[in-house]
Each structure stands twice: as C-alpha cells, then as structure tokens.
A = this chain, B = another copy of it.
Amino acid sequence: MPVVTMVGGGQLARMTHQSAIALGQCLRVLAASEDDPAAQVSADVVIGSHERLDDLRRSAAGANVLTFDHEGVPVAHLEALEAEGVAVRPPSKALRFAQDKLAMRTRLTALGLPVPDFADLAGDRAAARGVLREFGAQHRWDVVLKAVRGGYDGRGVWLVDDEQQALDLFDRADASTRLMVEARVSMRRELSALIARSPFGQGAAWPVVETIQRQGQCAVVVAPAPGLAPDVAEQAQQMALRLAEELGVIGVMAMELFETADGGLVVNELAMRPHNSGHWSMDGAITSQFEQHLRAILDYPLGPTDIVAGPVVMANVLGAAQAPAMSMDERVHHLMARLPEAKLHLYGKGERPDRKIGHVNIVGAPGASVDEVRERAERAATWLSTARWTDGWDVHGE
C-alpha cells in the first residue's frame, strides 16, 4: 500500500494517521519532536524541521506523496522537492496562496471571487503609511490589519478602532513583517466551505458549516449551517470547488467565508489541508475529512460527504486559563458519565491557556434540534477545558 508523508506532527497529522490505518497504511510524520501529537502514535516518525530541505527530503524518501499538517513550509523547498520528482500535494503553486494572504486576495480578485477591499502595506514604509491612511479614511477606520504571512488562530490579525491605533500598530510592527489592510466586513456570521479535489480533477464538497470564533480562533462548528439558504450554500461550495480547480489544489481545502448582513458571501481565509471546521466529519459524515484528504492526495476516487444522521456540532477543547481542579483523565471519566454519547478526540498535548488540546463531536439524531445538540457539545468541551459544567451542575454535590 502507498506511503504518505505528512509534514508536521500536530493534531491534524494525528487524526490523519487514524484514517491511514483503515486504508492499510501507516502515516509517516515529519515531526519536530517525539512528543508531537502525531509522533506519539505513529510507528513511522522522522524527526526534523519543516524549514530544512534535507529533513523534508529524508521524510519524502520512498513515500508516494508528501502532504501537510500546516502551511508553513517554504515554497522554495517545495519547488526543490518537486524538481526532484516528489509528489507534493497540494503542489507549491497552489499552497503559496494559502501562505500569502496578499497573493490570495489578489488572485481571488482576478478570478472575480468576492473579497473584502484590501491594500498592500509592504514596500517603502512612508509610502505604505500613506496607503494605510488613505485606505483607512476611505473605510472610516473600520479596518483590520493583517500579517501577510504566518497568521493563524487569531495571531497576525489586529482589529483596530481608529486611525491612531492603526498607525501605532503599523509603526510598531517589525520591519520584516509584511502587512496588509482590509475593510472589515459587516457580517451576520462566519461559514466554512470544505471541499476536496483529486489530481484526476474530481471534487467533493461537504455541507457548508457555520463556525463560531472566540478570541480569533474557531470554537464551535455547526454542520450544516442552520438556516442557510440552499442557493447560498451551493454558491459557497461552487466558489470553493472552482477556486481549487483554478489554483490546482490537491487534497482538502477549507474556504472560510463571511455571510454578510445582506446575505452575500465574502471570502476570508483559505487552508489547504484538513481544517478545524471539518472535524465534525469524523463522526458526522460518511467520509471524514482525514480519510478524504488521503483519498484525494493518492488520487483515489472521493467518498460521499453526506451527513450520517442529524445535525452535528463540534466544540474545541481549549487549555484553561487556570489549571483545572482535576486531571484530564478524571475529567474524561465525568464527561462519559454525564454525556456518554460525546465523541471525544484528544490530541495528546499539554494544557496551556487557549491552546487547542482536543475537540468533542455530538451527532444529533435525525431531526434533532441544533440548539440542543450544540448545548451538549459546548457543555462537554467546556467541562474538559475547565472541569466546570456550564449549567452549574456540581459533580461533587457540594
């Protein structure tokens, strides 16, 4: 059976390994350390850095495909590997648009896809400062400053309230950090269109989901997005599938979207890998995003993306601000006593404030109330984070 190497040993690689096992494979992982979430559980681990070409080469040796747990690999390295015959999927020509928000915005604009107004703040500092002042004034300072590269989970994104704050941020920024500015979108909610595309050109789209962000990172995902008009859902799927084809994406791709106050769509971010907004599919869809990513990059025919039963809600388990009063193992015991149906996914990570250390899926029965399913998912995840029940229930009866 084929060998797939995944660059990065995080939770996405860990969960991809679970799917690889079913397909008769063992995922090879390029991990920074043996303690990485995926390195803890796979029999085929290469210790090294995604920033060193030699380490990438070692991890790709003898593998059929090289793929990614994150988008941080330098494009020049990927181009070098491609020149040496490594099947890099998604290929560098596509992946660079997931690394560089400015290139992504520019390309999407050229393709006629809806993006927020934006301006490039790279280049000459004084000139860029002028661009920022003009753009900000035009948008009444309802703008967002972003790092062009490397931002995720709320990092590299700054919401500003006025000119002074924007200029302060700009002036304080490290000269090596390329910045851009975007108009803030007046939105109703955030959505994610998750799709997969194979080298053969086959595409598959899961139902569009609603994502709820907290402190700039994904907290809850509701699948499918409640009350989303079917034509808007289809438009989101078609936009994602079309973009994947235009860019030559291979594998799973998440297109994060804003649903605007007037019911339109605006593209926010792109991720070319399994994505937090697709974790619900592990228990709630016929084909999970991790199995689908493997199928896509290996050019197997793709699997059905239908929901298995009723609505599904995923809630992330975050490290708590204060260490909980009981161990994670004890918390798991109590969770299973109170919500035995919760599908738990723990990543083997240490608990640090706001760090994603796991998630919970609740699969509703057909016709179940989304609110009821969501309440259970959030109750479960908050319990695992904090050892506190959101409804005030006290495990000790005190």
How far is A5 from B45 in the complex, measured between Cα atoms in Å? 21
Known contacts A301-B333, A303-B340; A26 and B43 CB within 8 A of each other: no
When distances are taken between beta carbons in the complex, the residues of chain B under 8 Å from A41 are 17, 20-21, 26, 42-43
Please tell me if A24 contacts chain B, counting CB pairs below 8 Å.
yes
Query: Is the CB–CB distance between B1 and A26 below 8 Å?
Result: no
Please tell me if A344 contacts chain B, counting CB pairs below 8 Å.
yes
How far is A63 from B347 in the complex, measured between Cα atoms in Å? 20
Please tell me if A353 contacts chain B, counting CB pairs below 8 Å.
no
How far is A333 from B303 in the complex, measured between Cα atoms in Å? 11
Known contacts A43-B41, A286-B341; A1 and B301 CB within 8 A of each other: no
- In whole Å, how far is A364's beta carbon from the nearest beta carbon of chain B? 11
A39-56 residues at the B interface, CB under 8 angstroms? 39-43, 45
Residue of B whose beta carbon sits closest to that of A42:
B43
Query: Is the CB–CB distance between B43 and A336 below 8 Å?
Result: no
When distances are taken between beta carbons in the complex, the residues of chain B under 8 Å from A20 are 41
When distances are taken between beta carbons in the complex, the residues of chain B under 8 Å from A341 are 286-287, 303-304
Please tell me if A261 contacts chain B, counting CB pairs below 8 Å.
no
Please tell me if A394 contacts chain B, counting CB pairs below 8 Å.
no
When distances are taken between beta carbons in the complex, the residues of chain B under 8 Å from A43 are 39-43, 45
Please tell me if A218 contacts chain B, counting CB pairs below 8 Å.
no
Instruction: Mark A329-353 against chain B: 1 for CB-CB distance below 8 A, else 0.
Output: 1001100110011011111100000
Query: Is the CB–CB distance between B18 and A303 below 8 Å?
Result: no
When distances are taken between beta carbons in the complex, the residues of chain B under 8 Å from A40 are 26, 43
When distances are taken between beta carbons in the complex, the residues of chain B under 8 Å from A295 are 336
Please tell me if A95 contacts chain B, counting CB pairs below 8 Å.
no
Known contacts A40-B43, A286-B341; A22 and B303 CB within 8 A of each other: no
Please tell me if A143 contacts chain B, counting CB pairs below 8 Å.
no
Query: Is the CB–CB distance between B347 and A24 below 8 Å?
Result: yes
Please tell me if A32 contacts chain B, counting CB pairs below 8 Å.
no
Query: Is the CB–CB distance between A329 and B2 below 8 Å?
Result: yes
Chain copies in the assembled complex: 2
- In whole Å, how far is A324's beta carbon from the nearest beta carbon of chain B? 14
How far is A23 from B332 in the complex, measured between Cα atoms in Å? 9
A296-313 residues at the B interface, CB under 8 angstroms? 299-304, 308-309
When distances are taken between beta carbons in the complex, the residues of chain B under 8 Å from A358 are 24
Please tell me if A363 contacts chain B, counting CB pairs below 8 Å.
yes
Residue of B whose beta carbon sits closest to that of A2:
B329
- In whole Å, how far is A380's beta carbon from the nearest beta carbon of chain B? 13
Please tell me if A366 contacts chain B, counting CB pairs below 8 Å.
yes
Partner of A309, one of B309, B337, B344: B309
When distances are taken between beta carbons in the complex, the residues of chain B under 8 Å from A42 are 41, 43
How far is A45 from B300 in the complex, measured between Cα atoms in Å? 31
When distances are taken between beta carbons in the complex, the residues of chain B under 8 Å from A308 are 308-309, 363
Instruction: Mark A6-28 against chain B: 1 for CB-CB distance below 8 A, else 0.
Output: 00000000110110111110100
Please tell me if A328 contacts chain B, counting CB pairs below 8 Å.
yes
- In whole Å, how far is A17's beta carbon from the nearest beta carbon of chain B? 7
- In whole Å, how far is A192's beta carbon from the nearest beta carbon of chain B? 22
When distances are taken between beta carbons in the complex, the residues of chain B under 8 Å from A301 are 333, 336-337, 340
How far is A39 from B42 in the complex, measured between Cα atoms in Å? 10
Known contacts A303-B336, A366-B366; 10 additional CB pairs below 8 A are A1-B332, A1-B346, A15-B21, A17-B21, A22-B346, A26-B41, A39-B43, A40-B43, A300-B336, A302-B340
**17 CB-based A-B contacts, threshold 8 Å:** A1-B348, A22-B343, A26-B41, A41-B43, A286-B341, A286-B363, A299-B333, A300-B332, A300-B336, A302-B336, A302-B340, A303-B336, A303-B340, A304-B340, A308-B363, A309-B309, A366-B366
